[in-house]
A and B are shown apart, each in its own frame.
Chain A
Amino acid sequence: MQIYLPIADLPVNIFLVLGMGLAVGFISGMFGIGGGFLMTPLLIFIGVSPAVAVASVASHIAASSCSGAISYWRRNAIDLALALMLLAGGILGTAVGIWLFAVLRALDQLDLTIGLSYVVLLGVVGVLMITESVRAIIREQQGKPTTPRRGGAHTWVHGLPLKMRFKRSKIYVSAIPVWGIGFLIGFIGAILGIGGGFILVPMLIYFLRVPTATVLGTSMVLTLITMASATVMHAATNHLVDAVLALILMVGGVIGAQFGARAGQNMRGERLRLLLGLLVFAVGLRFAFQLVVQPDDLYSVRLIGGG
């Protein structure tokens, strides 16, 4: 069944888009991430222009993270103070990212920068997650405790000034790395059109020692706020949010996320992280492949400005 998308200006198969929403939603529910790094390339692949894809995916991620955030809220597993501090850095990061986006577009090298950034970012994060989770699995099989004691493990991050206490997460850290992480996520989100949950969650765990109990809920609140405001910003400035496309993606996404969350609960944390690491790494490889292998068509036609 074909449906015509009013902003993307092309007809798509409604079941194909719904299926994409379900599949990405399943993955996002399973790992507690937004899934923008999967959805944006998929939409571009079926013919949606990159600008419309980035803008519409923002509202899709807002919906799935809202659904997730509500269920974590009910379980009292959200550190609102931490989310707001991250947001403060995130807003600045988004502004810098949007500025750089415009500069790169003027230099005609935006596509290459996005491609390279995806390769480097997904490659590095993927490899880190794979090695970390494999180590954890090996430790577990050797009969050692799966999670090394973290309470007393202080790194250089804990020596920074401006310390703050986050009661819900039971951590006492400097505000500087919190702002820094927020800035980075906002920056990456603006450039690459991804929520950044898959980077945020490991960073919160490894750098700030946020306990697993609150990390996913907090990440989802941050994603909800940034992606909802990104939707409004994209709509107000570029008029590129396709509400019909977004609605189909959302419906598929929230349903998929519910099943994904159930599947995720039946798996051990290390295995889950290994799977996510492999997935992230695979998407990174896909982008690397695209950059290195000779494309089928050396020529491309793009509209100037906008789509």
Chain B
Amino acid sequence: MTRLLAALAAVLPALVAAAPAAAEQLVISISRHQVMVNSSFDGTSIVLFGTVEPDSPGGRRQSVSYDLVTTITGPRQTLVTRRKERVLGIWANVAGRTFVNVPTYLAVLANRPFNTIANPETLRRNQVGMDYILLPQQIGPDVADVVRDDPFRVNFIRLKNEHRLYLQEPNGVTFLTPTVFRAGIVLPAISPVGNYDVDVKLFGNGALLTRATSAFEIVKVGFEQFVATAARDHGLLYGLAAAMMAVFTGWFASVVFRRD
């Protein structure tokens, strides 16, 4: 909650400057702040709830229809996308593009198609939707994003989408009443552990009105966490234990199946 307040405190002054006529407040809450990964983890989903609070008790402005875009960003990783071509009859990787510090998980949910929420310039400025979210790439000596129909960018997003790690759902947010909304965040089983940022942007009449942020984390617990921590922090001991386990399993089998 303090985090939410801090975020609001940071956003509000800017908001007052941008839209002095009226200011809405977003109040959001997510169903879980921690997702536990245990041996039976097979993906999960988190529900985001929120309301749009008018600034004055006078009620919401009748002329404004609210639109909402939620962006969930997972921990960042550097990935390389490669393209195969036929060389001397063999299919080999000939070209590649490095995506520097891009989200491992990215979901963009909205209550209607993005191009009906705001004009392209506003969407680009606020990084709304897969087309406009920055995906920094190593191009020569520079790190920059490219045009949105660049083949490497398109295929990178397509491959991530096939693993359900990059999602874009123009109907992922539902308004239950004109001011109360709900969104379901689907996390596949291969979602990496780490911190996930939730960023909610409220649009009205094609302009950004306000935003709110939250976060959740995916952590390994119990045996899974024990194994992962041991492998990372005590690699040598872990390796010796694994080798001992192999020798013991082999010995045990030869005792059980002994025939002479």
Contact (Cβ within 8 A) A74 B260? yes
* Contacts of B230-260 to chain A: CB distance below 8 A: 231-232, 235-236, 238-243, 245-247, 249-254, 257-258, 260
Residues of chain A lying within 8 A (CB to CB) of residue B240: 232, 235
Contact (Cβ within 8 A) A10 B239? no
* Contacts of B160-197 to chain A: CB distance below 8 A: 160, 189-190, 192-193
**What is the CA–CA distance of A302 and B232 in the complex, to the nearest angstrom?**
21
Contact (Cβ within 8 A) B77 A108? no
Contact (Cβ within 8 A) B254 A71? yes
Contact (Cβ within 8 A) B83 A299? yes
Contact (Cβ within 8 A) B249 A63? yes
- Min distance, Cβ A273 to any Cβ of chain B, angstroms: 24
Task: Flag whether B86 is at the interface (Cβ < 8 A).
Answer: yes
Contact (Cβ within 8 A) B243 A299? no
Residues of chain A lying within 8 A (CB to CB) of residue B37: 4
* Contacts of B38-76 to chain A: CB distance below 8 A: 38-42
- Min distance, Cβ B165 to any Cβ of chain A, angstroms: 10
Contact (Cβ within 8 A) A236 B239? yes
**B241's contact among A243, A255, A293, by CB below 8 Å, is which?**
A243
**What is the CA–CA distance of A68 and B240 in the complex, to the nearest angstrom?**
20
- Min distance, Cβ B68 to any Cβ of chain A, angstroms: 30
**What is the CA–CA distance of A250 and B252 in the complex, to the nearest angstrom?**
11
Contact (Cβ within 8 A) B231 A239? yes
* Contacts of A154-200 to chain B: CB distance below 8 A: none
**What is the CA–CA distance of A236 and B232 in the complex, to the nearest angstrom?**
9
Contact with B along A91-116 (1 / 0, CB 8 A): 00000000000000000110110001
- Min distance, Cβ B47 to any Cβ of chain A, angstroms: 22
- In the complex where A67-B253, A304-B78 touch, is A292 in contact with B90 (Cβ < 8 A)? yes
**B81's contact among A11, A63, A241, A301, by CB below 8 Å, is which?**
A301
Contact (Cβ within 8 A) B250 A254? yes
Residues of chain B lying within 8 A (CB to CB) of residue A9: 190, 192-193
Contact (Cβ within 8 A) A301 B80? yes
Task: Flag whether B96 is at the interface (Cβ < 8 A).
Answer: yes
Task: Flag whether A142 is at the interface (Cβ < 8 A).
Answer: no
Contact (Cβ within 8 A) A7 B231? yes
Q: Return the chain B residue nearest A72 by Cβ.
A: B254
- In the complex where A10-B189, A303-B77 touch, is A254 in contact with B253 (Cβ < 8 A)? yes
Residues of chain A lying within 8 A (CB to CB) of residue B42: 2, 4, 11
**A302's contact among B80, B247, B249, B257, by CB below 8 Å, is which?**
B80
Contact (Cβ within 8 A) A63 B250? yes
- In the complex where A66-B246, A235-B236, A299-B155 touch, is A255 in contact with B253 (Cβ < 8 A)? yes
Contact (Cβ within 8 A) A295 B245? no
Contact (Cβ within 8 A) B227 A244? yes
Contact with B along A225-247 (1 / 0, CB 8 A): 00111011111110101011011
Residues of chain A lying within 8 A (CB to CB) of residue B155: 299
Contact (Cβ within 8 A) B245 A59? yes
**What is the CA–CA distance of A111 and B94 in the complex, to the nearest angstrom?**
12
9 closest pairs, A vs B, by CB? A235-B239, A66-B250, A254-B253, A232-B239, A67-B250, A62-B246, A63-B246, A299-B155, A70-B254
Known: A4-B224, A6-B224, A243-B241. 17 other contacts (CB 8 A): A3-B39, A4-B42, A6-B225, A7-B228, A60-B246, A66-B246, A67-B254, A108-B96, A233-B239, A243-B238, A246-B242, A247-B249, A295-B91, A299-B84, A299-B158, A301-B159, A302-B82
Question: What are 9 A-B interface contacts by the 8 Å CB criterion?
Answer: A2-B42, A4-B39, A6-B220, A59-B243, A228-B243, A232-B236, A247-B245, A299-B155, A300-B159
Taking Cβ atoms with an 8 Å cutoff, the residues of A that contact B are: 2-4, 6-7, 9-11, 59-60, 62-71, 74, 108-109, 111-112, 116, 224, 227-229, 231-237, 239, 241, 243-244, 246-247, 250-251, 254-255, 257-258, 291-295, 297-304
